[in-house]
Structure 1
Amino acid sequence: MSKVVKHAVLDTELYADSVEWCPVDGNQHLLVGGTYQLNETEGRRLGKIRLYQLNDELGLDEVWGNDCPGILDMKWNHCLMSEETTVLGTADADGSLNLYELKLDSMGLCQFASAHEDSIALALDWSHYKENVISTHIAVSYSSGHVCVFELTNSKLELKHKWKPHGFEAWITAFDYWHPHQIYTGGDDCLFRGYDLRITTNSPTFTNRAHDMGVCSIQCNRNRDNILATGSYDENIRLWDTRKIGKTPVSEVHVGGGVWRVKWSPWDRNHLAAACMHNGFVIIDCSGEPSAIVEYNEHDSLAYGVDWCYSNAKSVGFLLASCSFYDHKLSLWEWETNKSDNCNS
């Protein structure tokens, strides 16, 4: 296994389930962390968004925080919504999709748009990763099994599509970043499905039953067309060719623990980070037959959130953040490697 160095560990107080580094140039030293916790006595879902800043000692300084109903997922928009506007979307336990603008003058996040459904919002994704746009689309999946697609125009969210692809929780939804009319969903019913938003009937373009348990995570490779990764409660990561998703994937690797999140490296085509619930965090080399080359096991609870830092100027290798649930822990760690070699792979 490659060498891993732990740089910082923070207590998030509430149960931690989501971490996301800002991908936008000039703000790549910023990290958001989300928490979710059920107050069983009062029956309330609690949460908090925290904004952290990477410092020169490879530590994290908290610069802002805000209470909320509980965060299940967060995603930054990779494209500026205007000349200087960086936006974060959150999927909240009260059924809301909330959008926040990054305010650099006060170093905080300001909510400016919201859309609400009647079940828990579990995951979200932005349609555009490859070009600056004035309006874009956001997909959100819900505990009811529904998926909604909203259009963001002039700081307002408009519901454009709503359908029910899954009989139980729709754990995940994701856009095809190369073909943004294509959207994927995964649910607790073990189904992995695709939809073309140009087709108004909401009939799936495919239904795949290769997963033995619920499908928790889906992400397209932003650096390699037609490659998609899925993660499941069945403890396997599967790689797919989106041109021919049939009964079997291109390849798969058993990582153990149940795969809650997968994140492709922003630096190359072949490395995939995964949060494996009961089995910590791994980095998979997908250049050939997929295999785990990095393990990070410094968490004592469910491994739920992981992401690559887009700014590695202060590090020898690649920085990642991860978080775990019941021990309410957020970690900053580094995969020590030759960055130039890996970026060219």
Structure 2
Amino acid sequence: MISAVCWVPKGIAKPLPDSVEPPSQEEIQELLKLPVESGSDDNESSEEDNNSEEENEGMVVETNKSKDAVAMALAAADAIGNKSVEFPRELKVDEIADGLKELDMEHYDDDDEGIDIFGNGSVGGFYCPSSDMGKYPSAVDDDEDEIEDMTIKPSDQIIICARNEDEVSHLEIWVYEEQTEEGGSNMYVHHDIILPAFPLALAWLDCNLKGGDKGNFVAVGTMQPEIEIWDLDVLDAVEPSIMLGGVVKCDTSRNIAKIKKKKKNKQAATYKDGSHTNAVLGLAWNSEYRNVLASASADKSVKIWDIVAEKCEHTMHPHTDKVQAVAWNSNQATVLLSGSFDRSIVMMDMRAPTHPGVRWLVPADVESLAWDPHTDHSFVVSLEDGTVRGFDIRVAVSAVDSEGKPMFTLHAHDKAVCTITYNPAAPNLLATGSTDKMVKLWDMTNNQPTCIASTNPKVGAVFSACFSKDSPFLLGVGGSKGNLHVWDTLDNSEVSRRFGNFRPQN
């Protein structure tokens, strides 16, 4: 499934991303020497028996390592191109020596004497003429082709997908070409990033964590309490650039002896200062205060992070249940919305983070929030019951009862409306996506929503949809089938008729 999608602005990504240095063989060997963590009390006696048998058989190289160590070693080996690494349970030193002697690696590069591998051009041999037609493609040609394939052009659009497939979680970085030489569009996966946990939320940000003006990063919220921030301009990265919050890591060498004692008396996890203590369900980057990131969590809290300082600046508890979504007001950059399973939306101003804020009640769990980018006073919320409601904050602020009534209530879908997004260029154009597998476009003029287009993008239940800022009528959609779909909404005649004049001019 694809749980979240987001676009990267044009021209931000490096034309040719950097590559991380692969680990050395010495580093891999160090990883393999990590101590073994015993699994359970029932296995302790059998492990002791195995150890005694190994001692009787003679000197062996221990390879029964912890799961984490083996996984790290496999990843490291894969990074240096060794895709056939095996880890036998027992490997005797004598067998290793015999194998190396047979391979005779010291003379591996020596020229073979007396052997004419390709013949001399006569019958029975292989002859390659000196003309260009007979030349094999050179390594230089292969390198040039690979560089061309990996180069991101300024005209390319980039889409990030948070995907889970066969219990493997990762980010996919797609390149979308609007106009190809053959005509039409094309898209493909440029590279991917393996994640340690199921991804739930994404937020692209350009605050450069490595110094300088701007960067190309994505924040990822997962089923774990930490927030990972990855550099999208680095290939084959095995760890994020920074991690906000999370569980305090134990020193394995010091604590391995205490594992048996702790198994019978499990202790609560120890979290870093300011960390969430449950899954991170929503993220929002502040495009004006570029070092600021907001997060929503199943631990019922909303947090404000300084990603440069790598610390939590404020923690708010405006809700009594899981907080599903957060959204910054693009026209009033200090104003933040949060929506929760407690069936309420709260508006807070970070200039007064201790203030309880303004609250609106809704009849179902909140799924998604979106500020209208063309005004500074209205927003929409999508709910689990299939409805969408619009609010004007001026009504709530001026009313004695802060539980202001909505400007409109729209029965948009038959099932939960998981995602809602405004078009960044065309005022009053709104897109909704639902677990009923449909994506719909709405004309919101005068707060009287009218459905002007709908489609089944064949992605299953729709979990995420987002308009591109550079090509604002392109809508990226992801869902339960794991397919990424890009819909050019101007292909619909009614959308083109109503909003075609907002098409960007090349």
TM-score by length of 2: 0.57
Supply the AA of the counterpart residue of 1:221: D
Gaps of 5+ in 1: 1-14, 40-45
SS in 1 for 2:169: strand
Kindly indicate whether residue 418 of structure 2 is the aligned counterpart of residue 260 of structure 1.
yes
Partner residue of 1:3? none
Q: Give the Cα–Cα distance (whole angstroms) in 2 for the partners of residues 308 and 80 of structure 1.
A: 24
* Distance in 1 between residues matched to 2:236 and 2:222, nearest whole Å: 22
Contact kept, 8 Å, 1:143 with 1:171, in 2: the verdict is: yes
Q: Which has the higher strand share?
A: 1
The whole-number CA distance in structure 1 between the counterparts of 2:5 and 2:280 is 17
2:171 alignment counterpart: 49
In the TM superposition, what are the counterparts of 1:79-98 in structure 2 within 5 Å?
82-98=212-228
What root-mean-square deviation, in Å, do the aligned CA atoms of Structure 1 and Structure 2 show? 2.6
Report the secondary structure of 1:244's partner residue.
helix
1:332 is matched with which residue? 486
Quote the residue 1:286 is aligned against: 444
Larger radius of gyration: 2
1-side partners of 2:365 and 2:277: how far apart? 22
Flag the structure with higher helix content.
2
Match in the other structure for 1:323 = 478
Structure-2 residue corresponding to 1:224: 375
1:227/1:80 CA distance change after superposition, 3 Å: farther
2:283 aligns to what SS in structure 1? strand
State the AA in 2 paired with 1:90.
Answer: V
Deviations 1:51-82 (A, max 9, x none): 00012242211011112112101121267774
CA distance 1:261–1:300, shift in 2 (3 Å): closer
Q: Distance in 2 between matches of 1:249 and 1:79?
A: 36
Aligned to 2:7: 21
Distance 1:228 1:109, change over 3 A: farther
* Offset of residue 23 of structure 1: 3.0
- 1:148 Cα shift? 0.9
Aligned to 1:12: none
Q: Give CA deviations for 1:109-131 in whole Å, capped at 9, x if unaligned.
A: 98312112220000100122xx4
1:67 maps to what in 2? 194
Q: Secondary structure at the match of 1:204?
A: coil
Asked if the contact 1:24–1:78 (Cα under 8 Å) also holds between the matched residues in 2, the reply is no
2:324 touches 2:340 (CA, 8 Å); kept in 1? yes
Stretch deviating more after TM superposition (52-61 or 115-124): 52-61
Q: What is the number of residues matched between the two proteins?
A: 310
Amino acid at match of 1:176: N
Cα pair 1:186 1:192 within 8 Å, conserved: yes
| Distance of 2:313 and 2:436 partners within structure 1 | 37
Tell me which of the two structures has the higher relative contact order, counting C-alpha pairs closer than 8 angstroms and 6 or more residues apart. Answer: 1
Q: Percent identity?
A: 15
Match runs of 1:232-271 below 5 Å: 232-245=383-396, 246-256=403-413, 257-271=415-429
CA separation of 1:50 and 1:206: change in aligned 2, threshold 3 A: same
* Alpha carbons of structure 1 residues 24 and 54: separation in structure 2 relative to 1, 3 Å: closer
CA contact (8 A) 1:90 1:98 kept: yes
Q: 1:309 to 1:80 in 2, by over 3 A?
A: farther
SS of the residue 2:417 aligns to: coil
Provide closer, same or farther for how the CA distance between residues 159 and 24 of structure 1 changes in structure 2, counting only shifts above 3 A: farther
Q: CA deviation at 1:279?
A: 4.4
Residues in 1 aligned to 2:302 and 2:238: alpha-carbon distance in whole angstroms: 26
Give the 5 Å matches for 1:206-225: 206-209=358-361, 211-225=362-376
How far did residue 138 of structure 1 move? 0.7
Contact 1:125 1:139 (C-alpha < 8 Å) held by counterparts? yes
> Which deviations, in whole Å up to 9, do the C-alpha atoms of 1:24-66 show, x marking residues without a partner?
5555600000024795xxxxxx411000001224221101111
Q: Give CA deviations for 1:7-30 in whole Å, capped at 9, x if unaligned.
A: xxxxxxxx2111111135555600
TM-score, normalised by the number of residues in structure 1: 0.81
Specify every segment of 5 or more residues in structure 2 that has no aligned partner in the other structure, as ranges: 14-155, 246-275, 397-402
One-letter code of the match for 2:469? Y
8 Å contact kept, 1:150–1:158 = yes
Contact 2:227 2:244 in 1 (8 A): yes
The offset of 1:268, in angstroms, is: 1.8
Q: Take 2:169 and 2:349, find their aligned partners in 1: how far apart are those partners? A: 34
Aligned to 2:468: 309
Aligned to 1:126: 285
- AA in 1 matched with 2:487: W
- Pick the aligned partner of 2:338 from 182, 185, 209: 185
Structure 1 residues 253, 34: closer, same or farther in 2, change over 3 A? same
Whole-Å Cα distance in 2 between the matches of residues 157 and 147 of structure 1? 16
